[in-house]
Amino acid sequence: MRSASRESVVRAVWDVPRLLRHPVWRSTDPHEGNGLGVVLVPGFGAGEASLSPAGSWLRARGYHPGRSGVGFTIGCTAELLTKLLHSTEKHVELTGRPVVLLGQSRGGWLARLAAARRPDLVHGLVMLGSPVLDPMGAHPNVLRVARFLTRLAAAGVPGLLDDDCMRGPCYDDHIKALAEPLKVPAISIFSRLDGIVPWELCQDPCAECVEVRSTHTGMGFDPQVYEALGPRLAAWARKDVEVTA
């Protein structure tokens, strides 16, 4: 059974020193990424800063990380997807070639929607603890927060998730889009210790599914995640150079 008791932002941040001491963080090759762009898409309520360790790790290895522009990822799915596609287009223009989308939780399945809609912009896709098989399958506490936001949206508060994103035509359209085959390489990182998202919902049939032993909130701070990403992203970066050469 899942337990949300182990999920804590404070506990996740407490693991930062362990990450900074780990060889996966300390060993760097500034030419590894070959300038490959990576757009970082945060999870529900997390904000861009939640993926700042990932940004620092990528930058030290020669990647070109950029922001997604989706803020705290608590708005309408259609509006967030529009923002993400706009940011992705800008990053492609900046780097001169398709980019990697790296998203956590809701950010991961938003990134998958973007990759399915605009594969011409995307070189690869990374999803961290993303319930792509059922976005509504998260822990009840998360769903209670989401439903509270829909009530605020119904009361006239702008920029929030609305009811149509959780049930209705908007939800149905995006669920259908999440099931579309991908035309780009993808990685889905999951954990059986995840107290927010059941690991089974991360088993994207179009992605390489990689297991780690991390909490949901701690994935961006866990050395195992970076150990999994390192060689795979490096392979994508090498392939990118071969394609553009």
* CA 164, 169, 170, 172 torsion-angle sign: positive
Per-residue model confidence (pLDDT) at position 151: 74
Interatomic CA distance for residues 222 and 104, integer angstroms: 13
Distance CA 125, CA 208 (A): 10
pLDDT: which is higher, 126 or 10 = 126
Q: Alpha-carbon distance 71 to 64, whole Å? A: 19
Q: How confident is the model at residue 235 (pLDDT cuts 50, 70, 90)?
A: very high
What span, in angstroms and rounded, lies between the C-alpha atoms of 108 and 101? 8
Mean pLDDT for 223-239 is 96
Q: Does the structure show a pLDDT above 70 at 21?
A: yes
**Taking a C-beta distance cutoff of 8 angstroms, is the pair 132, 106 a contact?**
no
Weakest mean pLDDT among 23-32, 114-123, 136-145, 204-213 = 136-145
What are the pLDDT digits (tens) for 39-83? Answer: 999 999 898 989 999 999 999 999 999 999 999 988 889 999 999
pLDDT of residue 201: 97
Residue 1 has pLDDT above 50, yes or no: no
135-146 average pLDDT score = 82
Average pLDDT over every residue of 188-215: 96
The DSSP bridge partners found for residue 175 are none
Which of 131-140, 153-162, 223-232 has the largest mean confidence?
223-232
- Say what the pLDDT of residue 70 is: 95
